[in-house]
Amino acid sequence: TPSEFIRNFCIIAHIDHGKSTLADRMLGITGIVANRDMRAQYLDRMDIERERGITIKSQAVRMPWSDDAGQSYALNMIDTPGHVDFSYEVSRSLAACEGAILLVDAAQGIEAQTLANLYLAMENDLTIIPVLNKIDLPAADPDKYALELANLIGGKPEDVLRVSGKTGMGVEELLDRVIRDIPAPVGNVDAAPRAMIFDSVYDAYRGVVTYVRMVDGTLKPRERLQMMSTGTTHDLLEIGVSSPEPVPSKGLSVGEVGYLITGVKDVRLSKVGDTITHAQKPATEALPGYTDPKPMVFSGLYPIDGSDYPILREALDKLKLSDAALNYEPETSVALGFGFRCGFLGLLHLEIITERLEREFGLDLIATAPSVIYEVTTEDKKVVTVTNPSEFPTGKINSVSEPMVRVAILAPKDYVGTIMELCQSRRGSLLGMDYLGEDRVELRYNMPLAEIVFDFFDHLKSRTQGYASLDYEPSGEQEADLVKVDILLQGEAVDAFSAIVHRDNAYAYGVLMTERLSKLIPRQQFEVPIQAAIGARIIARESIRAIRKDVLAKCYGGDISRKRKLLEKQKEGKKRMKMVGRVEVPQEAFIAALSGE
Ligand code: GTP
């Protein structure tokens, strides 16, 4: 297709505002997915995505559509995830487009991620088409929210389209508007080819499938390709478009969006953000790339059954093939044995990876409390990067700095008080507050990432009856009075329970953990003190009283086989016990203490 008849666009929206439903509807209306093949959320392929109703990996699909004069166009729609953890995926999809549909739920109005995604789109100079969705809902208030949208992006409320992804109302007009308003891609057909990789997906049967946007020139099957960042070359085995099933073609040219296959097995060899060119006559300059997604949240993953360790390693290797943002390295814990320290983009990413490990690989895992990256400067000016409390330097500390985020919270104005209270209790400092229309407010805070990775979102939701929405972006590092709290059993620190917390919260953490453990650890033959400490200073203490455990006490009389059975059972029970010093701790106690059950 000549580039003047191509339109590349994406849909940006807050989570649950109906992006996937609208995308599915477009596939139906343009006729590329017959109704009988239509299943809910055709584009969300991963099981977890479908179950949780969220989009994780972006996908591109090509749809035919004609204007009033009968001229046919190729519309390339690039699906983007809506969750904050995956905003790096949004930005790379945006770079492959000339326009964006800004989709807003007509019963909800603008939410935190609507704004975050809109700003990203504006930074990429995209043409924005404002659209209100779900106008079939009785609670929809399109007049009110059209005004809100028009105020936000400039323009008239009448220009805001009204659609329903569910019933299909207004979707044809929307496709017409895509052709009319979004500019055609421009590039140099005769130049050396340059294709931008905006996604790379591992497929068990076909190896890595790379999604590209052609910027200049043409790529054809059987050509020799070169990755511009590394200089490595590959044979182009297949190139084509997703429609939405892969359809091989004779080549892709300027402005086109499609997929290619080279036979590599690891997404890292076909790196998102890299530029692909010809090996024989390469382009001289790579396209601007993306910054690599940086892990923000770290957690140790341990198999509950220690003999599953090799399976866990293999499973992580496999997931890494399709998820370049996943990081891991081996780690050992006195309490939990052999495992991996893993780096994630955020909490949802962590949850999804652990769930996939358990579901797809049949593993039973225990995850240690999530931690962020701390920079610790010791007295002799050494800077230590700490992602695991056990790496926290002992001895005198000059300063500790922690990652900060700029948080945007949107909520009805009645909740402002309770939100401010919550943010203050999480060491947030208010940056500003704006009214969006009469009854909704945007609150902006600077807050430590560590304070929001645990249960901030849950608290925010329950304090606001689910009405608040949240978005955040990194905003650098800041010094804070942070200390490491150790939990000691009979004087020995249990590594899995150490935590880095603000000095003001250290006492509360110490009391919580010692109380929890005193209930979970069974009584032993001797008294077991449980202590919380900062360095050598004890800040909380509980103890478990001694008991003389006699398994034979219950057997009166001489039934020797029953006695033997009981002794066997006790021996077996011992195997699942971990020894911390002289103290036997059942694995379940660790798990329960870490999960807060
Ligand atoms: P993410 O992919 O996670 O960002 O969510 P999404 O924006 O793709 O939302 P999705 O399409 O999954 O829709 C969210 C919910 O809204 C689902 O329960 C849909 O059935 C519902 N929904 C979507 N579009 C419409 C609509 O036009 N009308 C009504 N009444 N409900 C809709």
Model confidence over 279-295: pLDDT tens digits? Answer: 998 999 888 766 667 78
Report the alpha-carbon distance of residue 115 to residue 597 in Å, rounded: 37
Report the alpha-carbon distance of residue 82 to residue 93 in Å, rounded: 12
Q: What is the pLDDT at residue 51?
A: 54
Q: Which of 277, 259, 319, 257 is nearest to 99 (CA)?
A: 257
Q: Is the peptide bond before 244 cis (omega within 30 degrees of 0)?
A: yes
User: What ligand 1 atom has the least distance to the C-alpha of 167?
Assistant: 27
**Which residues, in sequence order, are CB contacts of 34 under 8 Å at separation 6+?**
none
Q: How far is the CA of 19 from the centre of ligand 1 (A)?
A: 6
Q: Tell me the per-residue pLDDT of 48-73, one tens digit each, with 9 for 90 and over.
A: 555 554 444 446 889 999 998 999 99
Number of neighbouring beta carbons within 10 Å of residue 417 = 10
Q: How far is the CA of 103 from the centre of ligand 1 (A)?
A: 11
Could you tell me how far CA 16 lies from the centroid of its own chain? 16
Q: What is the pLDDT at residue 162?
A: 97
Count of residues in the chain: 597
Longest CA pairwise span in the chain (Å):
99
Reduce the DSSP state of residue 202 to 3 states and report it: strand
The overall pTM is greater than 0.80: no
Q: Residue 492 belongs to what H/E stretch?
A: strand 492-493
Q: How far is the CA of 18 from the centre of ligand 1 (A)?
A: 3
Report the alpha-carbon distance of residue 18 to residue 102 in Å, rounded: 11
Q: Which residues are annotated as a binding site?
A: 16-21, 133-136
Q: How far is the CA of 67 from the centre of ligand 1 (A)?
A: 27
Could you tell me how far CA 320 lies from the centroid of its own chain? 14
Mutate to test the pocket of ligand 1, among 10, 15, 16, 164 (most ligand atoms within 8 A of CB): 16
Q: What is the pLDDT at residue 533?
A: 94
Q: What is the pLDDT at residue 549?
A: 56
Q: Residue 532 belongs to what H/E stretch?
A: strand 528-534
**Which residues, in sequence order, are CB contacts of 200 under 8 Å at separation 6+?**
208, 209, 210, 211, 267, 270, 271, 272, 324
Q: What is the pLDDT at residue 36?
A: 47
Q: What is the pLDDT at residue 347?
A: 76
Q: What is the pLDDT at residue 524?
A: 80
Give me Rg for the CA atoms of the chain: 28
Token look-up 């953000």 returns 273
**Which residues, in sequence order, are CB contacts of 421 under 8 Å at separation 6+?**
none
Q: Which residues are annotated as a binding site for GTP?
A: 16-21, 133-136
Through-space distance between the first and last CA atoms of the chain, rounded to whole angstroms:
59
Token pair of 595 as six digits = 């999960």
Q: How far is the CA of 165 from the centre of ligand 1 (A)?
A: 8
Q: Which of 344, 230, 358, 345 is nearest to 289 (CA)?
A: 230
Q: What is the pLDDT at residue 376?
A: 95
Closest residue to atom 24 of ligand 1, CA basis? 18
Token pair of 190 as six digits = 């005769």
Task: Tell me the C-alpha to C-alpha distance, in Å, between residue 81 and each of 49, 89, 273, 319.
Answer: 10, 7, 17, 19
Report the alpha-carbon distance of residue 80 to residue 538 in Å, rounded: 50
Q: Which of 310, 265, 17 is nearest to 165 (CA)?
A: 17
Task: Tell me the C-alpha to C-alpha distance, in Å, between residue 530 and each of 505, 533, 544.
Answer: 19, 10, 8
Mutate to test the pocket of ligand 1, among 14, 20, 131 (most ligand atoms within 8 A of CB): 20
pLDDT tens string, the chain, 597 residues long: the values are: 888 999 999 998 888 899 888 988 998 899 887 654 555 555 555 555 555 544 444 468 899 999 989 999 999 998 776 555 666 666 777 888 999 999 999 999 988 878 878 888 888 889 999 999 999 999 999 999 999 899 888 889 999 999 999 999 999 999 999 999 999 999 999 999 999 988 887 777 888 889 999 999 999 999 999 999 888 999 999 999 988 788 899 999 999 999 999 988 887 788 878 899 999 989 998 887 666 677 888 999 999 888 999 999 999 988 887 677 889 999 988 778 899 999 988 777 888 888 889 888 889 888 888 889 999 999 888 999 998 888 899 888 899 999 999 999 989 999 999 999 999 999 999 999 998 877 889 999 999 999 988 778 888 888 988 888 888 888 899 999 999 999 998 888 888 888 899 999 899 999 998 998 888 888 888 888 999 999 889 999 998 888 765 555 554 555 556 556 655 655 554 455 666 777 777 767 777 777 654
Q: What is the pLDDT at residue 121?
A: 87
Q: How far is the CA of 383 from the centre of ligand 1 (A)?
A: 47
Q: How far is the CA of 137 from the centre of ligand 1 (A)?
A: 12
Report the alpha-carbon distance of residue 385 to residue 373 in Å, rounded: 7
Closest residue to atom 10 of ligand 1, CA basis? 18
Closest residue to atom 28 of ligand 1, CA basis? 134
Q: What is the ipTM metric for this complex?
A: 0.97
User: What ligand 1 atom has the least distance to the C-alpha of 24?
Assistant: 11
Name every protein residue with a CB atom under 6 angstroms from any ligand 1 atom. 13, 15-21, 53-55, 82, 133-134, 136-137, 164-166
